[in-house]
Amino acid sequence: MSEPWVEKHRPRKLKGIVGQQKAVQGLLRWAEGWKRGKPYKRAALLYGAAGTGKSVAAAALADEFSWDLIEMNASDRRTMSEIKRVAGVAASVGTLFAGAGGRRLVVLDEADNIHGAADRGGYKALKELIAETQNPLLLIANDQFAIPWDIRMTCAWINFGSLTADAIIKELHRICKEEKITADPRALRVIAETAKGDMRCAITDLQTSATGKKRLEPSDLALYRRDRELSVYDFLDRLLSAENAKEVRAALWSLDLPPEDALVWIDENIPKVVVDPASLVRVYDAISRADIFLGWAKRGQTYGLWGYASDLMGAGVALSRGRNLRRAKFVSPGVLRHYARTRVDRAVRDAVAKKIALRCHTSARIARRDIMPYLGMVFKHDKEAADAVVEELELTDAESKFLKVQG
């Protein structure tokens, strides 16, 4: 089997990474700090959607600076002992050939997948690793907000944005040239636009379509268009035009949203376009019943009930809407806009709750509900006790300020 083109044509230098100039500049500034000694932020967090060049940039950085590259998938080994054993040693010693003065670039991929009660030790080890590392440390994540607040704040943030179709076409053209393939520009554009900003996906599709050919034509793209997820706006359009339950079910499965989020979008937008009062009653009835099933599924962890909820929010709503509809612009749900505005505050709150829960041997939910209000009063009225809590829980300035406000 031929070598995957994703690896074969991977840029070996940072200047070869297309469409991420700002991210590359930020990564270089951080790395230069290590060449001068130790930077203010010992770790950097590379975050962004899949296929935007995070891992490629990490490997290119190691090659460009002549650093040994040590890679570890954080989601595979998530205990404190494993992270310390593999990454800790690599981050604390020099290299084989350059001695103590040499550098290793330690890369923890999928750093946003260390989660759950069983992995508390993993995040604790990661925090200690960042504080103690004598070598540059990169964390790679798709969702930076899935990483605890106190860890994110110790890192330099470097965002890898979604790639444009033109940036992807430029890279595909380079690969075709190296493979001695003449490609019709229309074929490359179809591949790039279908990839939706994912360079890895685009290169894989190019290899699938062009292997064994000297010329690539649009007619060679038998796999297109790729069955990719619908946007939420496309889904709402289909919900208003679908004629049967099967069509709605397929659209809902193609929507890259959890059921509870899909329901919020439906509840915010669909009732606005329904004119007939009787139809509106049936729509709200389907939405409310879907919400009930989702609640049962979440409380009892009986996720088989999701199927009932999905049919109610999808087919139930679509077949109840009636024919008389008004035009309306779809908008992001108010509750999601509220969550977006308060994301930072909630991240700090959750970080504090996890620290309290770990120290008090309880859940984060109990810590938020029963313990944090009490600590808020302590922070407001007893500075000596508050200082002791800060030291015991290793609270950051932002977390301390949050508890003061709670009082």
Higher pLDDT, 236 or 170: 170
Which architecture characterizes domain 165-220 according to CATH? Orthogonal Bundle (1.10)
Cβ atoms within 10 Å, residue 145:
15
The β-bridge partners of 141 are 47
Which pair of structure tokens corresponds to residue 204?
Answer: 């894989």
Cβ atoms within 10 Å, residue 217:
13
Domain borders along the chain are 20-159, 165-220, 232-338, 343-406
- What are the Cα distances from residue 92, in Å, to 20, 34, 73, 134, 151? 30, 14, 19, 5, 19
Distance CA 222, CA 193 (A): 15
Which pair of structure tokens corresponds to residue 127?
Answer: 């925090």
On the question of pLDDT at 204 being above 90, the answer is no
Which pair of structure tokens corresponds to residue 198?
Answer: 């994912």
Mean pLDDT of the chain: 80
Distance CA 111, CA 260 (A): 25
Asked whether the beta carbons of 307 and 295 are under 8 A apart, the reply is no
pLDDT of residue 30: 93
Of the candidates 58, 20, 197, the one whose C-alpha atom is nearest the C-alpha of residue 140 is 58
Which architecture characterizes domain 20-159 according to CATH? 3-Layer(aba) Sandwich (3.40)
pLDDT of residue 118: 42
Q: Look up tokens 């979604």; give the residue.
A: 162
Model confidence pLDDT, tens digit, residues 33-52: 888 877 888 899 999 888 89
On the question of pLDDT at 272 being above 80, the answer is yes
- Ramachandran region of residue 313, left (φ > 0), alpha (ψ -120 to 50) or beta? alpha
On the question of pLDDT at 229 being above 60, the answer is no
Question: Per-residue pLDDT averaged across 133-161, rounded?
Answer: 87
- Ramachandran region of residue 66, left (φ > 0), alpha (ψ -120 to 50) or beta? left
pLDDT of residue 99: 38
Three-state SS letters, the chain: CCCCHHHHCCCCCHHHCCCCHHHHHHHHHHHHHHHCCCCCCCEEEEECCCCCCHHHHHHHHHHHCCCEEEEEECCCCCCHHHHHHHHHHHHHCCECCCECCCCEEEEEECHHHCCCHHHHHHHHHHHHHHHHCCCCEEEEECCHHHCCHHHHCCEEEEECCCCCHHHHHHHHHHHHHHCCCEECHHHHHHHHHHHCCCHHHHHHHHHHHHCCCCEECHHHCCCCCCCCCECHHHHHHHHHHCCCHHHHHHHHHCECCCHHHHHHHHHHHHHHHECCHHHHHHHHHHHHHHHHHHHHHHHHCCHHHHHHHHHHHHHHHHCCCCCCECCCCCCCCHHHHHHHHCHHHHHHHHHHHHHHHHHHCCCHHHHHHHHHHHHHHHHHHCHHHHHHHHHHHCCCHHHHHHHHHHC
Model confidence pLDDT, tens digit, residues 78-121: 444 555 565 555 555 544 444 345 678 888 888 877 644 344 55
Asked whether the beta carbons of 262 and 230 are under 8 A apart, the reply is no
381 CB-near residues (< 8 Å, 6+ apart): 407
Distance CA 396, CA 118 (A): 24
Which pair of structure tokens corresponds to residue 367?
Answer: 């810590």
Model confidence pLDDT, tens digit, residues 7-38: 888 888 999 999 999 999 999 999 998 888 77
Which pair of structure tokens corresponds to residue 53?
Answer: 């060049």
On the question of pLDDT at 162 being above 50, the answer is yes
Model confidence pLDDT, tens digit, residues 62-78: 999 988 888 877 655 44
Asked whether the beta carbons of 114 and 78 are under 8 A apart, the reply is yes
